[in-house]
Structure 1
Amino acid sequence: MEQNWAGNIAYRAREVARPRSVDALRELVADRDRVRALGSRHSFNDLADGPGTLVSLEDLPAEIVVTGNQVSVPAGVRYGVLAEFLAERGLALPNMASLPHISVAGAIATGTHGSGDGNGCLSTAVAGLELVTASGGSRTLWRGDPEFAGSVVALGALGVVTTVTLDVRPTFEVRQQVWVDVPWASVVGELDGVFACGYSVSVFTDWTGPAQVWVKSTGPASLPFDAKAAPEPVHMLAGESVAAVTEQGGVPGPWLDRLPHFRLGHKPSAGAELQSEYLLPRDSAVEALTRLRDMAPRIAPLLQITELRTVAADKLWLSPACGRDVLAIHFTWHLNVPEVTALLPAIESALLPLGARPHWGKLFHTKEISPRYPKWTDFTELRTHHDPKNKFTNPFLDNLT
């Protein structure tokens, strides 16, 4: 039985197809009544599932092409593979997520992000998309087209993306420094200063004790208060091997070896886990953290770690950062589906009134999505226009209101 990465979702589709060419993919999409694209399976809910055919893009031709300051990437390529390709040519992506193991198209379709006050989600690097439509035809969109902003973070609802064109930049060096045993009061009291002290910043907390602060910077960095730098490499999870994490200690190195937390060839995080994430307006951040800290006795027993990051505002209709700079609050849970599922409504009761939007690929409880996205009606109309017979829908999408 086909499963997602975490093993908490068993796909219900009647088949998983692996076309070896775009023409074969077009024929398959035209022939089937229900189709969903399947990426690297790092979604913790049933967003990628469906009652018909799941299409894996892993066997499509994987030629990556650089043209000027852009790169065209087959949708199934993983970020770590793309990063190595670019680095060999003196190029770089503006940002990367914590894991280099995820597919380009899957991350973009869900608004997945890295970190940094000046860095948008990974989807903001998209300059163009090619996709297979419901009829089996092809459609190409470029930044500036009227429907572009509604078609990038699109949850697989507008077709099967085959190629993504991304902006790239010249390669650059990054150094990673970790501070440990950072008092929680210092983090919250200087929250903006903490996230401003590097190119990409992550704060790790278990909601009960001090925090870790991981700063990825292009030059020397320091926190806005006195704190203890880690004397040797650390993992954000106690007991896990530091061989899995990217180099620390402030040693400059290539961007692809510092921006992700984990090395491509190693197990990310702890492996057996569930994930939830909520992205809130920056002006609600302190109140959100205060409310969650008060819930620590309920959260901590189910939690491996929480990561806090910032993401810059964008204009993509279904991006959780659409229209506002955000603080992302990410929960890595123990693999305990019943208890985590039971806790999510309480977390959402604290965060949703503050303007939180859940990450599309993580576990969340609410189905009331339309009030959180001003362009939801426009997106619904876009879906109706390009997929009038609902070929690309599934129960996850049907249940959103």
Structure 2
Amino acid sequence: MAVAATNWAGTIVFRAERCHEPRSTAELQRIVAGSRSLRVLGSGHSFNDIADTTGDLVSVASLPRAVELDARAGAVTVSAGTRYGELAQVLDRAGFALHNLGSLPHISVAGACATGTHGSGVGNGSLATAVRAVELVTADGALVTVDRGAPQFPGSVVALGALGVVTRLTLDVVPAFEVRQWVYEGLPTAVLRDRFDEVMAAAYSVSLFTTWRTDRIDQVWLKQRGGPDAPADWHGAVLSDGPRHPVPGCPPEPCTRQLGVPGRWHDRLPHFRLDFTPSSGDELQSEYFVARADAVAAFDALDAVRERIAPALQISEIRTVAADALWLSPAYGRDSVAFHFTWHPDPVAVADAVGAVEQALSAFGARPHWGKVFTTAPETVRARYPRWDDFRALLAESDPAGTFRNAFVARFFPAP
């Protein structure tokens, strides 16, 4: 019955009056129907109070695990608490894959989709874009399914846990594939400015890592489906001579295989291995999405405040995300570039750095990642989502009593 008392990083202590870990959907339905205030905990990989509650906190980790593949339909139905790394192994054995994965295979399917979590690639949408159906328990304890094509579907995928407890999702799958991964070091930022689109389209998935301390991008991670071997010199960057960790000073063992060694899609698309502690472990995170057309200008704006960013920073990652039509997706309606920041666990230094980042990106309509540290005012965030009022109406209709409305949801979607 007990669940973790903190989020993944230990930076949020949940204030729940009661913690539940139901072992069946029927048990979950009874808990939800009997609760006046309830939030759901996935893998706990969040850095703000999105999952916090003073009422009931429910973990879906012990619901019956299911991975039901429909090869003919090109779809898989999976239990909400399943981690991506676990799902990927089952799919791969059957000859199938997901279109993309996030940098961490440790995160739960439902939690990642609910917050707009993503990988990289100019043609790759966020993880939520693979969803074709959502099964959830609503505030009255009913079990409902919302399919792609339903009017409320675009508001029911990236929904912040505000519409109910997701129990299962049906995802699109594709044929399994292999990926080769290379790391380059020292890409001149002048080249990035001149050839940003070319650099980011150089592979199936591309990630840039920078400490914002020099005029070079520290590392470029290229994840390529097929193709020739990587050249030793690429746009002025040099091919690494061994495996690398994106965070300076960290050993590379937790990272997925590099040096162009072919591997299965799920062993290369994430940056980190499922059997290791992800990232640096002791950290805070922020992330902001801007239109890809503004990428270079946004990069320059951040570079201008590097002296305020660098002291709090472990590493920053720059990725691309294709546009989608999900109402609360940070990539809604625009091909996007996501600027990610992994901070030292120093709240004072991080607060100053986050303020500098948000001020620098304000001119570009930056949308913060829902599950990470940000201080953008609710009215400012609201203005950056064209379908905000539609989601608020859906929320009022789906949960009129506010069962799933915690302080986080109330800040951004105040009750009518």
- TM-score band (shorter)? over 0.9
* Distance across 1 between alignment mates of 2:291 and 2:365: 7
Whether 2:56 is the aligned partner of 1:43: answer: no
Q: Deviations over 1:44-100 (max 9, x none)?
A: 000011111110001100021101211100000000000111111111110000000
Whether 2:216 is the aligned partner of 1:216: answer: no
Q: Which runs of 5+ in 1 are unaligned?
A: none
* Distance across 1 between alignment mates of 2:326 and 2:127: 11
What residue number does 2:350 align with?
A: 340
- TM-score (normalised: structure 1): 0.98
RMSD (Å), alpha carbons:
1.2
Whether 2:383 is the aligned partner of 1:371: answer: yes
* Distance across 2 between alignment mates of 1:272 and 1:3: 13
* Distance across 1 between alignment mates of 2:205 and 2:301: 25
* Distance across 2 between alignment mates of 1:303 and 1:172: 35
Letter in 2 for 1:173: E
Q: Deviations over 1:276-318 (max 9, x none)?
A: 0000001111111101111111111110000000000000000
* Distance across 1 between alignment mates of 2:342 and 2:354: 13
Letter in 2 for 1:37: V
Letter in 2 for 1:318: L
* 2:184 maps to which of 179, 183, 187: 179
What aligned pairs does 1:93-112 form with structure 2 within 5 A after superposition?
Answer: 93-112=98-117
What is the total number of aligned residue pairs between the two structures?
401
3-state SS of paired residue (2:47): coil
Q: Deviations over 1:116-158 (max 9, x none)?
A: 0000000000010100000000110111111100100000000
Whether 2:366 is the aligned partner of 1:356: answer: yes
What aligned pairs does 1:128-277 form with structure 2 within 5 A after superposition?
Answer: 128-209=133-214, 210-211=216-217, 212-219=219-226, 220=228, 225-277=235-287
TM-superposed CA distance for 1:224, in Å, is 6.3
* 1:90 maps to which of 92, 95, 108: 95
3-state SS of paired residue (2:296): helix
Whether 2:316 is the aligned partner of 1:306: answer: yes
- TM-score (normalised: structure 2): 0.95
TM-superposed CA distance for 1:159, in Å, is 0.4
3-state SS of paired residue (1:399): helix
What residue number does 1:329 align with?
A: 339
* Distance across 1 between alignment mates of 2:78 and 2:362: 36
Q: 8 Å contact 1:8–1:337 — kept in the other structure?
A: no
Whether 2:411 is the aligned partner of 1:394: answer: no
TM-superposed CA distance for 1:352, in Å, is 2.2
Whether 2:391 is the aligned partner of 1:384: answer: no
Q: 8 Å contact 1:92–1:172 — kept in the other structure?
A: yes
3-state SS of paired residue (2:91): helix
Q: Which deviates more from structure 2 when the two are superposed, residues 165-174 or residues 205-214?
A: 205-214
Q: 8 Å contact 2:15–2:54 — kept in the other structure?
A: yes
Q: 8 Å contact 1:190–1:224 — kept in the other structure?
A: no
Q: 8 Å contact 1:131–1:163 — kept in the other structure?
A: yes
Letter in 2 for 1:139: V
TM-superposed CA distance for 1:252, in Å, is 1.4
TM-superposed CA distance for 1:343, in Å, is 2.8
Q: 8 Å contact 1:194–1:224 — kept in the other structure?
A: no
Q: Which runs of 5+ in 2 are unaligned?
A: none
TM-superposed CA distance for 1:353, in Å, is 2.0
* Distance across 2 between alignment mates of 1:248 and 1:80: 18
Runs of 4+ in 1 over 6 A off after TM superposition: none
* 1:118 maps to which of 115, 123, 128: 123
Q: Which deviates more from structure 2 when the two are superposed, residues 360-369 or residues 324-333?
A: 360-369
Q: 8 Å contact 1:173–1:255 — kept in the other structure?
A: yes
* Distance across 1 between alignment mates of 2:221 and 2:185: 9
Q: 8 Å contact 2:248–2:314 — kept in the other structure?
A: no
Q: Which deviates more from structure 2 when the two are superposed, residues 310-319 or residues 332-341?
A: 332-341
Call closer, same or farther: CA 1:382–1:107 in 2, change over 3 Å.
Answer: same
Whether 2:42 is the aligned partner of 1:30: answer: no
* Distance across 2 between alignment mates of 1:70 and 1:177: 30
Letter in 2 for 1:60: L
TM-superposed CA distance for 1:250, in Å, is 1.1
Q: Deviations over 1:237-280 (max 9, x none)?
A: 12211111101111111000000000000111111000000000
Percent identity over paired residues: 53
* Distance across 2 between alignment mates of 1:157 and 1:337: 27
What residue number does 1:65 align with?
A: 68
